[in-house]
Structure 1
Amino acid sequence: MILEHANQPHHHGNLPTADKQIELRNPTCGDVLELAVKLDDSGKIADVAFSGTGCTISQASASMMTDEVIGKTPAQVAEMVEAFSEMITAKTDKDYEKLLGDAVVLEGVAQFPARIKCATLAWKAIYQALQEGGHEHE
C-alpha cells in the first residue's frame, strides 16, 4: 500500500482555489512538501492537494493524509495529527485505524527513526496550515 500511494499519489498537484497554502521542508533528507487546502462554508476541508519532492515514505504519507482529512474540521484534523505522531513515535497498543484509516500502515516507521520526519512532514503541514493559518492564497 505504501508503494501504491507513493507511485500514484492521491490529491497530488495544484489547488488554485486554495484558502491556505504552506511549504515545509525536511532538511534531514531534502523532502519538500507544498500543501494547499480549500475549506467549505462550514470550515471543513473541502479539498486538499500536495506537490513537491520527497522519498517514498513522505510521498505515501502525504497521499494517505490527503485521503483522510477531506470532510474533516480543523479540530478533527488536529486530533488525527496528534494520533499519527503518537503512533509512530510512542510504543502504545492503541488502535489507530479508526482515526487514521489507511495511514495506519505507516506505524512500522517507528522502527526507523531516520524516517519519522519523512512520515510526519505532511501531517505537520496540514496542522500548521489549519491551526496557524498557513499562507493566505491570493
Structure 2
Amino acid sequence: MPFSKEEEIYQEHILEHYEDPFHRGECTDATHADEGKNPLCGDKVRIELRVNPDGVIEEAWFEGKGCIISQASASMLLEEIEGKTVEDAKAFTTNQMLDLFGAKLTPNRQKCCLLSWRILQSAVYSPVGGEGGVEQESYSGPHSGEES
C-alpha cells in the first residue's frame, strides 16, 4: 500500500534524523545525564545535558543503539529541547513527544519513541557527580529502566 504525501514526509524526516542525528555523541562538561533501555526490544539511549545556572539547557547530546524509531526520536527530542529551560523539558508531555515524532505508531512502537522522553525526564533530575547547574528536587516519575 503506497504512503500518502504526509506519511512520505514523516518517513523522510525520520530517516534524516536516524541517518544524520542531531547531537549524537558525548556532551563535554555535562551537568546532567541518565540512560536507559527498553527491555522488550533492546533499544538503549543515554542523554547528557549541560544546564547553566539559570536552568537553560545549553547543550543536549545522546548516544544509543536500537531501532530507527528510538534513535530518530532521541535526535528529534534533543533538537526540540536544546536552548529551552529545564522547566520546559519537565513540562514536555508524552503527547507532545508523539506529535513531534509525527508518524502514527502502534503501542509497542510508541515505547520505542518515548524511550528518550523518559530518559530526559529523569536526566533533568540526575546531576553528574552529584552537582548540577540547577537546584535539584526529587523525581517521582517513571525511571528510565522501568516500563511505563
Same fold (TM over 0.5): yes
Partner Cα distance (2:22, 2:81) in 1: 12
- CA–CA distance in 2 between the matches of 1:114 and 1:82? 14
2:45 corresponds to which of 25, 33, 36:
33
Provide closer, same or farther for how the CA distance between residues 116 and 82 of structure 1 changes in structure 2, counting only shifts above 3 A: closer
Identity of aligned residues (%): 33
* Structure-1 residue corresponding to 2:102: 105
- Structure 1 contact 21–137 (Cα < 8 Å) conserved: no
Which one has a larger percent helix, Structure 1 or Structure 2?
1
Residues 1:124 and 2:118 are matched in the alignment: yes
* 3-state SS in 2 of match to 1:46: strand
RMSD across aligned positions (CA): 1.7
Match of 1:16 in 2: 28
Superposition TM-score, scaled by structure 2 size: 0.73
**Structure holding more strand per residue:** 1
TM-score (norm 1): 0.78
Name which one, 1 or 2, has greater alpha-carbon Rg. Answer: 2
For residues 54-78 of structure 1, the C-alpha deviation after alignment (integer angstroms, 9 at most, x for no partner) is 1000011000000010111122112
- State the partner residue of 1:134: 126
For structure 2, the residue ranges without an aligned partner over 5 or more in a row are: 1-12, 131-148
CA distance in 2: counterparts of 1:137 and 1:13, whole angstroms? 19
Offset from partner CA, 1:28-61 (integer Å, 9 cap, x none): 1000101101002211100010001010000110
* Equivalent AA in structure 1 for residue 114 of structure 2: T
| Count of paired positions | 118
